Amino acid sequence: MKINILLYDQVTALDVVGPYEVLARLPGAEVTFVAERAGPVVTDAGPLTLVATASLDEAGPADLVLVPGGYAPPLRPGPILDWLRAADAASTWTASVCVGSLILGAAGLLRGRRATSHWLTLDELTAYAAVPVAERVVFDGKYATGAGVSAGIDLALELVARIAAPEIAQSIQLGIEYDPAPPFEAGSPTKAPGPIVRFLRENRNLVVRL
């Protein structure tokens, strides 16, 4: 099972590492981190650097292509969107986390498809003729999209259940002790206190760094 995870400048680290920690445990998984150039890629929230193991040209086709979100997602025509279209043509599954779905949309892959995104950008999916769905994980055919940042863990477990078996997903879930217990009920705009939702709506740039 070949898995290509796209990296780009100012990617969100947890969008990458949440699903990675699940998908890398798939029996037979071979994960490649793909970026315009192999080497260090700076993430958006601060000093963390991840390392791409292959350039766009070097990365071969993969069964699963995962596109994480980030502060400055590559939405304009260019090598990344070209690569993504080719990668999607060869994939069994194409997945995204957070505003990664906007990148899929910009590549023209979500026309008429149901998809999700970070709650602050969900409506922007319509610009790419996708159908926004306010759910944490949305499947439409081979396209699997997750909501904001941390949703990548839930997305990846559901992918593993479908790719391998529910028992494999459960084994991985227990291995990473994913029995979440957030100290607050504030993780979605329908649950968080109104002033906090408004604060983030009015200060979107602070979503990355308060």
Shortest spacing between CB 22 and its own copies, in angstroms: 9
Q: Which is nearer to its own copies, 11 or 87 (CB)?
A: 11
Residue 59 in contact with its own copies, rule: CB under 8 A: no
Residues 96-155 that bind its own copies (CB under 8 A): 98, 118-119, 136-137, 147-151, 153-154
Q: Which of 128, 127, 99 is nearest to 10 (CA)?
A: 99
Residue 6 within binding range of its own copies, rule CB under 8 A: no
**Would you name the residues annotated as active-site residues?**
98
- Name 197's Cβ contacts closer than 8 Å, sequence gap at least 6: 189
Please give the full DSSP string across 14-35, using - where no structure is assigned: HHHHHHHHHHTTSTT-EEEEEE
Query: Would strands 131-132 and 114-115 be described as parallel, antiparallel, or unpaired?
Result: parallel
**Crossing angle between the packed helical segments 13-23 and 151-163, to the nearest 10 degrees:** 30
Residues in binding contact with its own copies, number by CB under 8 A: 75
When the beta carbons of 96 and 173 are compared against its own copies, the nearer one is 173
Contacting its own copies (CB under 8 A), which of 72, 129, 165, 186? 186
Binding mask 13-52 for its own copies (x = CB under 8 A): xx-xxx-xx--xxxx-x-xxx------x----xxxxxxx-
What would the 3-class secondary structure string for 39-73 be? EEEEECCCCCEEEECEECCCCCCCCEEEECCECCC
Burial class, 205, CB count within 10 angstroms (exposed 0-12 / middle 13-18 / buried 19+): exposed
Q: Taking the complex as a whole, how short is the minimal distance between the CB of residue 78 and its own copies, in angstroms?
A: 25
Residues between 166 and 185 with contacts to its own copies, criterion CB under 8 A:
166-184
Nearer to its own copies, 81 or 147 (CB): 147
* Residue with smaller CB distance to its own copies, 82 or 199: 199
